[in-house]
Amino acid sequence: MAAARFAQSAIFGIFVAACGAVSPAAFAADESVIGESQTRRDLPTVTGPIPSDDRPVSGLVSQQYALEKLGIYDAWSVEVGDPSIVVAVIDSGVDSSHPDLSLRMWINPRELANGVDDDGNGYTDDIRGWDFVQDDNNPQDEADHGTHVAGIIAARGRYSDGVAGVANVTIMPLRVLDAQRQGVDSDVALAIDYAVKAGAHVINVSLGGPDSSAAMRNACAAAERAGVVVVAAVGNQGGQAVLYPAAYDSVLGIAAVDENDVPAAFSNASSAVDLAAPGVNILSTVLNQRYGFRNGTSMATAYVAGIAALLRTAHPDWTAAQIRAAIVDSADDINVSGWDEKTGFGRANAYRALTDAGADAPLSDRGVNTAPPLGSVAEPVTAGEQLAELNPCGFGVLPGFALSLLLLGAGKRMA
């Protein structure tokens, strides 16, 4: 975010995450869940561009309107991604057994399951990522959210009865939110640091909080300097709260729109917004090998993370700032002319991002990092600093004038 657009102050306290005019039933966490098809057929990994006239037409993919809206189908005629590109999903974990995700999961090539920290990174037997909540090597999702996010990015059901992710890339699951969807920002900072050191190319952070911490700010700055693109949700309170990490200059902050490009009533409008993507009635993978519709800036963020992965595949030599700028500068301006606090510079367009941008892609005013000098991501944070997931229809009354962001379904305050 441009330094000039930082909000100078905000009042945090009792709040209700509004659903606007949308029926509450449309946002229920346990509704609109689709059972696994009994006719699933496994798919070979796509390794090359898909002709524009060879688009998936399976039942579930046909319900993913965002693929068309974001120009993903056309983008696939240029780039589909590559399994060597790793997207870290910092969230509630990921269900690695889901048939649309099981072959997308990251495996640490430098670690063995032998009770020894083979790669010397401080995490023993972290073969498939890390659970920062339980401090163990099993980042399994217990809250559904991370699995939904991961499916948007990389589900492999493009021609099966499953759903299609944006890119043919690998998912690195890093769990920072427990089964009640609660966590602390120090774990988020550690997870970002882990992802960078483990070789992630893109980091998806579909969560946020009202307070900046030195640890998280420095972790995001370190990611940018390492060439890693960080994408974060701006929040679902339907107000003007400025949330972190979305508000950092080194991070793309994503708002949500519906299938008609109308800003979602729950999507925060603030200086943290860089651009928008679909976040209403989004179909993706959920727990128990099923699929479900979800709503939130979390979902919009995952789409942009997938687009960033396509760009990283196409342009391995680009800096993180160049990739961010290419996505922002190629967005379709859908609201007022130029930047606005509801949709930023517009709705992302994957095809234009891949075809309009050259190696000298101009940097928008959000493309240059102005964060303080890099420090240690292990720097202690102020007691009580919190982050939480995003939920468009949750509500809560919080003590101590702390703002908690809510995730899908009934939101919970991080503690």
Considering the domain 3-401 in this protein, what is its CATH number?
3.40.50.200
How far apart, in whole angstroms, are the C-alpha atoms of residue 88 and residue 107?
Answer: 12
Task: Provide the pLDDT for residue 392.
Answer: 31
**Order of strands across the sheet that contains 290-294:** 33-34, 290-294, 282-286
pLDDT number for residue 62: 87
SS (H, E, C) 255-294: EEECCCCCECCCCCCCCCCCEEEECCCEEEEECCCEEEEE
DSSP 107-123: --TT--SSSS-TT-SS-
3-state secondary structure of 313: helix
Q: Rounded to the nearest 5°, which phi and psi values hold at 295?
A: -135, 145
Beta bridge partners of 340: 344
What pLDDT is recorded for position 363? Answer: 44
How far is it, in rounded angstroms, from Cα 380 to Cα 255? 30
What are the beta bridge partners of residue 283?
293
Residues annotated catalytic, as ranges: 91, 145, 298
What whole-number distance in Å separates Cα of residue 42 and Cα of residue 401?
50
The residues, any chain, with a CB within 8 Å of residue 312's CB and separated by 6 or more, are 85, 201, 202, 229, 318, 323
- Local confidence pLDDT in tens for the 415 residues of the chain: 432 222 222 222 222 222 222 222 222 222 234 433 322 333 334 445 655 545 555 568 989 999 999 999 999 999 999 999 999 999 999 999 999 999 999 999 999 999 999 999 999 999 999 999 999 999 999 999 999 999 999 999 765 678 999 999 999 999 999 998 889 999 999 999 999 999 999 999 999 999 999 999 999 999 999 999 999 999 999 999 999 999 999 999 999 999 999 999 999 999 999 999 999 999 999 999 999 999 999 999 999 999 999 999 999 999 999 999 999 999 999 988 999 999 999 999 999 999 996 444 444 444 333 322 222 233 322 223 344 444 332 222 222 222 233 332 222 223 2
Identify each DSSP E strand in 348-409 by its residue range: 386-389, 395-396
Tokens standing for residue 152: 């948007």
* Domain positions in the chain: 3-401
Rounded distance, CA 311 to CA 324, Å? 9
Please state the pTM of the whole predicted model: 0.80
Q: Is 383 helix (H, G, I), strand (E, B) or coil?
A: coil
Q: Quick one: angle between helices 320-329 and 214-225, nearest 10?
A: 90
* pLDDT number for residue 56: 54
* Rg value, the chain, Cα: 19
Task: In whole angstroms, give the CA distance from residue 360 to residue 274.
Answer: 20
Rounded to the nearest 10 degrees, how much is the dihedral formed by the CA atoms of 220, 269, 1, 234?
10
* pLDDT for residue 54: 53
